[in-house]
Amino acid sequence: MSLAAETTAPPAARRGGGLTGDRSVTLGLSALAALPILLFLLLPLTGILLRGFETPDGFGIGNFTETFGAERFWKLVYNSIAMSLTATLAAVGLAYFYAYALQRAKIPFKPFLRIAVLTPLFAPSLVQAQGLILLLGRNGVLNRFLGFDIDIYGFWGTAIANALYAFPYAYLILSAALAVADARLYESAEALGAGPLRIFRDVTLPATRFGLAAAIFVVFTLVMTDFGNPMVIGGDFSVLATEVYNQVIGQAQFGLGAVIGIVLLVPAILAKLIEKRISRKQHASVTAQSKPLVVKPSLRRDVAFSVYAYVVVALILSVLAIVVVASFVRLWPYNMSFTLKHYEFDVQNGTAPLWNSVGVSLATAIVGVAITGLTAIVVQKFRNPLTGPLSLLAILPAAVPGMVLGLGYVLTFNEPSNPLNVLYGSFALIVILSVYYNHAHAFLISSTSLKQIGSTFDEASTTLGGSAVTTLRKVTLPLLWPTLLGVGVFYFMRTMVSLSAVIFLVTPSTQLAAVSVLQLSDRGAVNQAAAFSVCIMAIVIACLLLVRTILWLAGAKNVTLIR
Amino acid sequence: MDLSIHDLVKRFGRITALDHVSLDVARGSFVCFLGPSGCGKTTLLRVIAGLEEADAGSIRLGEADLSSIPARARNFGVVFQSYSLFPNMTAARNVGYGLECRHWEKERTRARIAEMLDLVHLSDQAEKLPAQMSGGQQQRIALARALAPDPSALLLDEPLSALDAKVREELRIEIRAVQKRLGITTIMVTHDQEEALAMADLIVVMNKGRIEQIGTPQQLYREPASAFVADFIGRMNVLPVEAGAQGAMSFGGTPLHIDHPARDGATMLGVRPEAVSLTARDGTGANILPATVRSVSFLGNVTRVEVEPDARRETSIMVELHGTSKVPEQGEQLAISIPAEALRVLS
């Protein structure tokens, strides 16, 4: 028996509940995990606050009174809210019935419909505006070739572009809400003589009201803080998000930019808090006794929803497709002959921004997976009094719009007195920004997966004589790697297409593809901008296919890649 | 080496999971911790395994004090309810995991894995992944994995409760056979009294963080120390009684004769349903109580008859008739006969 030799184990190694019982080690690990979050998330956010209150005569509320006193500011607030409400209603309304069609009706080619509706996530976040202009703009298909006279620039263009942009996000939330249903409720409603409309009103809608509310809050924040679409299609129509950019980049008015940043941050945090409260209630509504709903065929309903779903998909895909077409024609709309010349990228820095984007996204994926994976492991496996605050910090980025975080980075790291100022203007800072911008979601994915792996494997390994490191290396990581790969894909995808977070940090020497699309559109180089967008989409799709193949070969089939 | 537990206390917040528990487990014996959920039996096992730390008390294995030894160095084999085989490893690698952690040589490891798989009759499943095996097979692999490093004791945490009834019975026999063959000290946690009665040398009945009674299966069944034990192990009719002078007992005014000495202030007597028999109202003998049949359930080899004694109608008494004896009708007026030696005083 090996016991006698082991009795000299240090008392510090007592207790076996988690991976290790040593208090000071677990506290140290938590503090270590919290440090970079404090530095690269909390510090920039405080930076915005500080700058907001900084005036030429010391600290004060001068910036606020100046901003709030301007008529233009209130016009922008009105514009932002009106446009965001319109886009939110449209996106959530359309997405609800789209998700309903996929979850509660029998329609052909569901896998296609499920993927197709998510394709906007693979494109730079201003592609909707790009596509809308090509379809409905001054030189768009409808006005140019079909004789319409539509003016898309402004409120409606921005609202429609943003509705299309937010649609996949709304769909993902609503689809999850509609996926769970208790068949017993539906059976009793039917037995009591309720018709389909009544059942929808009295059963379906109440059961999904939490998901619906969550989708509304998420979409509203997303639209309110989106920067690319209003920039491209807004014309004279300005919103708060574009105003921040104009103040900071255009006029170097950091203080005033910071004030609007705060104005954008507050509703975002409120929305996130409400959404969290709501989603907590959602889980309680389905119990272990619930019986899953089986969709019965109904010809009329199925035909109606098929038509609806395919019309919606056609709309979403047409906006993307027109961009692809534009990238292959000589000079939209005057010379529509086929050419590949826009893919030569003889403008600006050539293909450099594209490769920069790939490099930054890959680096973000690697660094992000390492950081969120380790943070999740520390939170789940090394419990101590710091665990609560640490996990709160880890999901805090969910409430911070990319635009605001980017602004915080500029305000904090371009300060010469900040020792981290050396990072300013480098790819490294863009990578760090991308890591923390997407930190919350990546952390939650890793954390959930770790929770599913559960503590019994740790306990089994411990009782068999495995140390914390052995357990991690031989048990936890081999079980976790498909999820971590999924997290990597998430980081890569989001960083490739993200615009609003990085817009403040790019310089001519650190140009990124999504920013190039914006600048080329701005200059009227429609075809080249389209080609850039297509390249971004192609790279993201190639990455998804590659990873899906790897996972398939490894036998890990249950990993969600598109989030 | 005997395992000796002294005065263990474990609290989770305001709940006391272990309330001054002391216990000795003799080397080579098979001990069951039995009790309802939340009685502290699993906590006790986890404290022994080192997966939880007790707030007070000591655990000794022979001469060695275990409290300062972390779980991974205690050298106990643990089998969990949820199998908890590592899903990324084959059956053979799972069995070899503890040996890998102990840095055994390759040849020796391979031989030991083969030996252990043979022990649980699963040599042909060596290269299967847990997901490709049935629940019973997985739990046998888990047993082999726990035994492979030659542990000083085997700790089983409800190892059978996730399995089908038939598999459960097979595995019950197999675990007991392996335990006897290896002569390994084994502690099993269960809430299933039948399982405990069938497998254990010694049963520790627990309730609310305390040990109610320790005894062999026969002792617990024949001489339950408390109403809780009596009711938890088998069925027991509980008769509220009034104590008279010199240990005399009466039930609803009818005097009862008992063989066992009555303690002062005893208020409850217990009797097993199969010890009670039905007789005619004019029957003679000690402890004849006139009664009325309230309900009859025919269960094949057993017939359960619920009667209400005329002396105390609110106390129903269950009578179990075996074989094909005459079955009474509902509402029939008859009498029950309780042998004096079958009545127990319950605390």
ipTM attached to this prediction: 0.81
Distant-in-sequence, close-in-space partners of B196: CB < 8 Å, separation ≥ 6: B32, B34, B188, B190, B203, B217
For Cα atoms A460, A462, A467, give the angle at the middle one, nearest 5 degrees.
140
**For the segment B162-183, what is each residue's pLDDT rounded down to a tens digit?**
888 888 999 999 999 999 999 9
Question: What Rg, from alpha-carbon coordinates, does chain A have?
Answer: 25
Q: Same domain for B261 and B333? A: yes
Interchain contact, B64 vs A7, CB within 8 Å: yes
What distance in Å separates the CA atoms of residue A461 and residue B94, rounded to the nearest whole number? 10
**For the segment A154-165, what is each residue's pLDDT rounded down to a tens digit?**
899 999 999 999
pLDDT-derived band at A428, boundaries 50, 70, 90: very high
Q: Of A347, A272, A360, A271, whose CA–CA distance to A522 is shortest?
A: A347
Q: How far is A181 from chain B (nearest CA, A)?
A: 28
Interchain contact, A465 vs B72, CB within 8 Å: yes
Residue A12 is predicted with a pLDDT of 34
Q: How far is A308 from chain B (nearest CA, A)?
A: 42
Question: Looking at the partner chain, which of B73, B88, B98 has a beta carbon nearest the beta carbon of A6?
Answer: B73
pLDDT-derived band at A11, boundaries 50, 70, 90: very low
Distant-in-sequence, close-in-space partners of A217: CB < 8 Å, separation ≥ 6: A271, A272, A274, A275, A278
What distance in Å separates the CA atoms of residue A502 and residue A512, rounded to the nearest whole number? 9
Q: How far is B61 from chain A (nearest CA, A)?
A: 9
**For the segment A14-54, what is each residue's pLDDT rounded down to a tens digit?**
333 444 556 677 888 888 889 999 999 999 999 888 888 88
Q: Same domain for B12 and B161? A: yes
Q: Which residues of A touch B149 (CB under 8 A)?
A: 464-465
Which residue of chain B is at minimal alpha-carbon distance from A554? B88
Percent of chain A with pLDDT over 70: 93
**CATH code, domain carrying B192:** 3.40.50.300
Tell me the average pLDDT across A292-314.
87
- Chain A, 4-43: which have a CB under 8 Å from a chain B CB? 4, 6-7, 9, 11, 13-17, 21
Of A185-189, A216-220, B65-69, the poorest mean pLDDT is in: A185-189
Residue A16 is predicted with a pLDDT of 38
Q: Same domain for B266 and B158? A: no
What distance in Å separates the CA atoms of residue B294 and residue B309, rounded to the nearest whole number? 10
Query: Which residues on adjacent β-strands are paired with residue B278?
Result: B336
Q: How far is CA B232 from the centre of its chain?
A: 9
**For the segment A168-179, what is each residue's pLDDT rounded down to a tens digit?**
999 998 998 888
Q: Same domain for B224 and B325? A: no
Residue B283 lies in a domain: yes
Q: Same domain for B245 and B221? A: no
> Domain boundary residue among B166, B196, B228?
B228
Report which of residues B149 and A274 the model is more confident about: B149
User: CA–CA distance from B56 to each of A48, B3, B10, B128 (Å)?
Assistant: 52, 17, 7, 44
Q: Same domain for B322 and B205? A: no
Which residue in the block uniquely carries the two structure tokens 């893919």? A343
Q: Same domain for B19 and B148? A: yes
What distance in Å separates the CA atoms of residue A357 and residue A492, rounded to the nearest whole number? 9
Q: Which residues of B touch A554 (CB under 8 A)?
A: none
Intervals of chain B under pLDDT 50: none
Q: Of B50, B40, B49, B37, whose CA–CA distance to B12 is shortest?
A: B40
Q: Same domain for B161 and B125? A: yes
Q: Same domain for B285 and B189? A: no
**For the segment B29-44, what is each residue's pLDDT rounded down to a tens digit?**
999 999 998 899 999 9
Question: Sheet holding B254-256: strands in order across?
Answer: B242-243, B249-251, B254-256
Q: How far is A8 from chain B (nearest CA, A)?
A: 8
Q: Same domain for B299 and B172? A: no
Tell me the average pLDDT across A138-152.
78
Residue A66 is predicted with a pLDDT of 84
What distance in Å separates the CA atoms of residue A560 and residue A545, rounded to the nearest whole number? 13
> Domain boundary residue among B194, B228, B262?
B228
Q: Same domain for B221 and B245? A: no
Average pLDDT, chain A: 85
Helices (H), B183-278: 193-199, 217-222, 227-232
Please give the tally of structural domains in chain B: 2
pLDDT-derived band at A145, boundaries 50, 70, 90: confident
Interchain contact, B98 vs A464, CB within 8 Å: yes
Residue B265 is predicted with a pLDDT of 66
Interchain contact, B51 vs A462, CB within 8 Å: yes
Residue B269 lies in a domain: yes
What distance in Å separates the CA atoms of residue B212 and residue B220, rounded to the nearest whole number? 11
User: CA–CA distance from A427 to each of A356, A490, A504, A509 (Å)?
Assistant: 9, 19, 13, 9
**Could you give the count of Cα atoms lying within 13 Å of A136 in the half-sphere of its Cβ?**
17
Residue A1 is predicted with a pLDDT of 35
What distance in Å separates the CA atoms of residue A87 and residue A90, rounded to the nearest whole number? 5
Interchain contact, A3 vs B70, CB within 8 Å: no
Residue B201 is predicted with a pLDDT of 94
Structure token digits, residue B340: 């004096």
What distance in Å separates the CA atoms of residue B335 and residue B254, rounded to the nearest whole number? 13
Residue B234 lies in a domain: no
Residue B172 is predicted with a pLDDT of 92
Q: Is the pLDDT of residue A286 over 60?
A: no
Q: Which residues of A touch B112 (CB under 8 A)?
A: none
Range of the domain at B301: 239-346
Q: Is the pLDDT of residue A560 over 80?
A: no
Question: Sheet holding B344-346: strands in order across?
Answer: B237-240, B268-271, B344-346
Q: Same domain for B111 and B203? A: yes
Interchain contact, A3 vs B73, CB within 8 Å: yes
> Domain boundary residue among B196, B228, B260?
B228
pLDDT-derived band at A112, boundaries 50, 70, 90: very high
Distant-in-sequence, close-in-space partners of B287: CB < 8 Å, separation ≥ 6: B256, B257, B337, B338, B339, B340, B343
**CATH code, domain carrying B304:** 2.40.50.140
| B61 interface with A at CB cutoff 8 Å | yes
Structure token digits, residue A498: 């993200």
Structure token digits, residue A463: 């009782």
Interchain contact, B78 vs A478, CB within 8 Å: no
Question: What Rg, from alpha-carbon coordinates, does chain B have?
Answer: 25
